[in-house]
Amino acid sequence: MALIAELTHRCPMRCPYCSNPIELQRARQELGTDQWLRVISQAADAGCMQIHFTGGEPLVRRDLETLVAAAAECSLYSNLITSGIGLDRTRLPALVSSGLEHVQVSFQHSERDLAEHLGGYRDALSKKMAAANLVREYGLPLTINFVVHRQNIRHASDMIALAISLDAQRIEIANVQFYGWALRNRSALIPTRDELKELDEIVSSARIRLRGEITIDYVAPDYYAERPKACMDGWGRRTLVISPSGYVLPCHAAHSIAGMHFENVRDGATIAEIWKSSQSFNQYRGTEWMLEPCRSCDHRERDWGGCRCQAFALTGDAAKTDPACALSAHHARLNQIGEKDASSQTAAFVYRQFSGMR
Amino acid sequence: MKNTSVTLHSVPRLKPHMRLRLDKVRNVWSIQAPEKMFVLDAPSHAIASRCTGETTVERIVEELHSIFSGADRDTIAEDVISQLQDFVDKGVVEI
Ligand code: SF4
Ligand code: SF4
């Protein structure tokens, strides 16, 4: 079991493909250090073996080192998922001595100007490269993550080359997932089928070339898929997410499902109790809740019917088959949306921002 | 491309970002890595814990032969090589 600890929604970057919700939680709503410390030890007691510190930008929290140390104390495998901004010669050594085991740095592009434009942050590329180099200098394993979309997909080879030059142990190439800000900016981000085909070939040949040396994990796109992804490996099966303000969620985007109630760690129940017995975790756990065509489908224990949040966003009912599946009645419409948005030619997007800040 | 076929002469090593951890709640050993978790049964744990970068596959086979004395050496050698090959293919172990 893994805990995804979303420490904050604050982030110096402003990526238009960010999967954080449109309504970002503010600093004053965030859990305090003591609350996180309790969550971490409860998560270990509940059977978690890993913790992924993410956000927003987790380095914004000055107590990150304390939380990493607490995770190490509980033998949780700890991973920092960062933009790299702020990972300097003060923070990284402190994190390493607190017991941090792995760092993932995200990149927007392999070219300076485009990286700056796509992240909405000045000189992002050189700062990220410096952060990645520092991670290797301190001997920590490094994942380089690229979210790919129409505005960088043609540069996938260069991005892989960049990750290799940074001595990454693992490369994650993730097609943009349309939640939160990314959904709002879909028409500027979604690639065409041809671009995806080209990406597929680049990834497959890089995998062969780098076999045994660098792992490449690939997150497939949804909008032209035939079968959905096993979102979160199934609702309430292996992963729980805690939002900056303490909501315990089966998936990052679960809050987008209108009408569902989620527990908050502030209300007193332990992580083990919430994991085992909450209404929200049990709602879509296993296969009992499924409707047709999932209910009688052979794939139901492989993909668990896909993503509940995507089903809700595109059909209005979270219990329906994920429209990424060809057997969904909404599948053709999803393909059409994809094709229409992909051909829209627009490159204009809105940067991620806190409301009231425009 | 690296050589990725396990033989008796290979010297396997758990990759640096793979961590062997005991799951105390379920009382099973596992390998932890970003986005991955492998649950190990007793034999695969015995193999994984010997992937230190200092021991040949041949030596691992001998050690396991002396522990699991019931099984014959060739069968153990086959099992060890196929398990290690699987670890290598999944990017858990390097040789
Ligand atoms: S996607 Fe960009 S804006 Fe969103 S949290 Fe990551 S670095 Fe920050
Ligand atoms: S019908 Fe449901 S279970 Fe079957 S492949 Fe589609 S999403 Fe998966």
The residue ranges of every structural domain in chain B are: 13-89
Contact A102 B37 (CB under 8 A): no
Token pair listed for A135: 């991670």
Can you tell me the distance from the alpha carbon of B8 to that of B10, in angstroms, rounded to the nearest whole number? Answer: 6
Which pLDDT does position B90 carry in this prediction? 84
The yes-or-no verdict on residue A240 having pLDDT over 80 is: yes
Contact B34 A52 (CB under 8 A): yes
Which residue among A57, A125, A145 is best mutated to probe the pocket of ligand 1, counting the most ligand atoms within 8 A of its Cβ? Answer: A57
CA angle in degrees (0–180, nearest 5) for A150-A155-A157: 135
In 10 A of CB B4, how many CB atoms? 14
Which pLDDT does position B24 carry in this prediction? 83
- Is the ipTM above a cut-off of 0.85? no
Task: Tell me the mean pLDDT in the region A242-270.
Answer: 93
Q: Is A144 or A27 the better-scoring residue by pLDDT? A: A144
Q: How confident is the model at residue B72 (pLDDT cuts 50, 70, 90)?
A: confident
Architecture of the domain whose range is B13-89: Orthogonal Bundle (1.10)
Q: Are B35 and A217 in contact (CB under 8 A)?
A: yes
Single out the residue of A338, A351, A19, A353 nearest to residue A176, CA to CA: A19
Q: What's the pTM value of the predicted model, to 2 decimals?
A: 0.91
Task: Tell me the mean pLDDT in the region B54-63.
Answer: 94
Which pLDDT does position B3 carry in this prediction? 67
Contact A212 B1 (CB under 8 A): yes
Token pair listed for A176: 């943009």
In 10 A of CB A355, how many CB atoms? 9
Token pair listed for A54: 């993410």
Q: Kindly state the percentage of chain A with pLDDT values over 90.
A: 59
Q: Are A206 and A159 in contact (CB under 8 A)?
A: no
Task: Tell me the mean pLDDT in the region A286-305.
Answer: 92
Which pLDDT does position A184 carry in this prediction? 84
pLDDT, one tens digit per residue, over A18-67 is 888 878 888 889 999 999 999 999 999 999 999 999 999 999 999 999 99
Instruction: Ligand 2, residue A298: give the atom nearest the CA.
Output: 4
